[in-house]
Amino acid sequence: MTKRLLESFIQSPYHVNDSNAKPCWKHEIQLMINQVVRHYFQLPRKIQNSISIMKLIDTYRKDLHIEVFDSVTHYCVVMAKITDHLLSFLTNESTQVPQLYFYHCQERVLEVKEYSISINIELTEYSIKSYSMKKYLLMADEHLIKHFQLLITVYSVDAFGKLPDKVLIITLLDAKVYEYSPTIEDVILGQQYMKDLRKTKIKHKSWERRS
């Protein structure tokens, strides 16, 4: 499994297994979400508000290609839901008293035998004795949620030397919050999952050469 593929999975999982490499509306929306969240928490605290969120959404939605959506109506419905839920979650984050530490393009390399990866986690909540990891996604089923939890757990132990108290994954299409308390076993499972992804990629490349 290459470093680039794993980075791509963390940033946006919706195109990783797409052998056709066609434009995907889920992927484009996820990249927009990443940009909005990243730049919102780079703003001074005093201007972290709904107006700034709307401006950021307006800026980055221009990179979307409407033709990859099922229809114009589909595009409008998705954007309405994402906008509403980003406004709700991000403004709530800004009013919280505990420190919020944002990883600005900060990457840690995780060595796993013969290959390494870099994972960029978007938001970390800190207190003196504990911390939690958070990731905003467009949408996810139970399978995807579990894989993100495992990968974020592996990253957390490598970056901070201990397990996070909790891992939060927020899906913005349906406004659901998934909370998980990882264990040391999840680190082992996460490393195994990375190996499995690598094997799958090698198989895909082998199939493409034969076709």
The pLDDT value recorded for residue 50 is 96
* CA 14 vs CA 34, 44, 73, 179: distances in Å: 14, 32, 21, 21
**Total number of domains constituting the chain:** 1
Alpha-carbon 153 to chain mean position? 13
Question: pTM here?
Answer: 0.80
Res 90: pLDDT: 92
Convert the pLDDT of each residue in 70-85 to its tens digit: 999 999 999 999 999 9
Domain that holds residue 120: 3-210
CATH number of the domain enclosing 137: 3.90.320
